[in-house]
Amino acid sequence: MRLEDIETICEIEREAFPTPWTSSAFHNELTNNHFAHYLVMELNGEIAGYAGMWLIMDEAHITNIALRTHFRGKKLGERLLMQVQSAAVFLGAERMTLEVRVSNVVAQRLYAKLGFIPAGLRKGYYTDNGEDAIIMWAHLARIAEEGERDTDADKR
Ligand SMILES: CC(C)(COP(=O)(O)OP(=O)(O)OC[C@H]1O[C@@H](n2cnc3c(N)ncnc32)[C@H](O)[C@@H]1OP(=O)(O)O)[C@@H](O)C(=O)NCCC(=O)NCCS
């Protein structure tokens, strides 16, 4: 993600979330936060989605992931999250965590598909409606090993 992407990212953010991040929040992430890594997914020159994480020691914390509404449901979110997981492994992460609304079943299914397991609840985490967050964790090393095994199996 580059500074010139922020305007579009904020449009997607407003499409996706009831309490969207501001452009100054993204600006701060890209210029001041040394833990932050943000990826943009482009399709035919258009930004289709983005995802971010904070990498602290060997743990990656997903901050946000969103696809533009008309790009959802086409396996792009899955590809984007897989890319974020690969980047996290490359940067030395062993585990990845995130929070997801109890009501956001679509995202929960995506996370479960990519190896995330529920590990607890943050009660009343979301300020707009007091909804609880499910905390999920994934073991990236295990995912990377399974990927390698799949690749080896493909070769045979
Ligand atoms: C959550 C989000 C990133 C998923 O991306 P996507 O491109 O729509 O999802 P994909 O097409 O890659 O689907 C991947 C998996 O997600 C789940 N999924 C996607 N759409 C779904 C739907 N309508 N109903 C149920 N599960 C769904 C499925 O498990 C799917 O895998 P499958 O098709 O093999 O079953 C996207 O929908 C989005 O931007 N939502 C709004 C923002 C948001 O909620 N972000 C997460 C905050 S924690």
Per-residue pLDDT tens for 20-73? 999 999 999 999 999 999 999 999 999 999 999 999 999 999 999 999 999 999
**Residue 120 near ligand 1, beta carbon < 6 Å:** no
User: Where is 150: in which H helix or E strand?
Assistant: helix 140-155
Angle at 95 between CA 115 and CA 12, to 5 degrees: 70
pLDDT of residue 140: 96
CA 79 to chain centre: 11
Please determine, for residue 103, whether its predicted confidence score (pLDDT) is greater than 80: yes
Average pLDDT over residues 75-87: 97
The active-site residue out of 15, 99, 126, 131 is 99
Ligand 1 atom 5, closest CA: 77
Is 111 part of the annotated catalytic residue set?
yes
| Residue of 56, 55, 51 lying closest to 9 (CA atoms) | 51
Percent pLDDT > 90 in the chain is: 90
Burial environment of residue 129 by CB neighbours within 10 A (0 to 12, 13 to 18, 19 or more): exposed
Is 125 part of the annotated catalytic residue set?
no
Ligand 1 atom 20, closest CA: 73
Distance 56 CA to ligand 1 centre (A): 26
Which residues are registered as beta bridge partners of 42? 47
Per residue in 112-154, pLDDT (tens digit) is 999 999 999 999 999 999 999 999 999 997 776 776 777 677 6
Alpha-carbon radius of gyration of the chain: 16
**Residue 16 near ligand 1, beta carbon < 6 Å:** yes
Atom number of ligand 1 nearest to Cα 66: 39
Average pLDDT over residues 75-93: 97
pLDDT of residue 145: 73
Q: What is the DSSP letter of 33?
A: -
| Domains observed in the chain | 3-155 (3.40.630.30)
Pocket test for ligand 1, best of 62, 74, 78 (most atoms within 8 A of CB): 78
